[in-house]
Amino acid sequence: MTEPRATNSDPEAEIYFEGLGRGVILLQHCAGCDRRQFPPRVHCSHCGGRGLSWDEVDGAGTVYAKTVNRRAPEPAFEKFLPYAVALVDLDAGVRVMARADCPAGDVATAMRVNVHPDPDPVVGPGLLFAPEAARRAGGA
């Protein structure tokens, strides 16, 4: 049995995690420089401004880098082995980490993917990705 993770203790990230729970990706947007940022912060990482709001974004992006995990970091992940994790450059202008929602061998650097909130997270809210064509074929 897996121990439940502690709830998020970062107040800047609370809205982000609430969005994941609703099935949407929310990113902070700075009114001062018109840029998005991730992870959430109390001020803009680009210009230092505090005029931050939240934008709902789609998960279209490109795999920047990937790795295949063959050992589970904790027991809850054993059922996914082997699985790929990637850094994905979202078209929205930020880089996120996500776990593959497809076989690890199907993941390649520079491939187009769609990132989406994990509908059934095993240890806490997170992101999944699938090849762009697979998400379209699945109706999402």
Query: Is there a contact between 117 and 127 (Cβ–Cβ < 8 Å)?
Result: yes
**Res 68: pLDDT:** 98
**Res 10: pLDDT:** 79
Residue 53 lies in a domain: yes
Q: Do 38 and 74 belong to one domain?
A: no
**Res 12: pLDDT:** 83
Residue ranges, the chain, pLDDT below 50: 1-5, 139-140
Number of independent structural domains in the chain = 2
Domain ranges, residue 50: 9-57
pLDDT in tens, 81-101: 999 999 999 999 999 999 999
**Res 69: pLDDT:** 97
CA distances from 37 to 19, 42, 58 (A): 15, 11, 15
Scanning 27-118, the segments in alpha helix (DSSP H) are: none
Residue 138 lies in a domain: yes
Question: What's the rounded Cα separation, in Å, for the pair 77 and 91?
Answer: 28
Q: Do 122 and 132 belong to one domain?
A: yes
The gap from C-alpha 127 to its chain's centroid, in whole angstroms, comes to 4
The overall pTM is greater than 0.85: yes
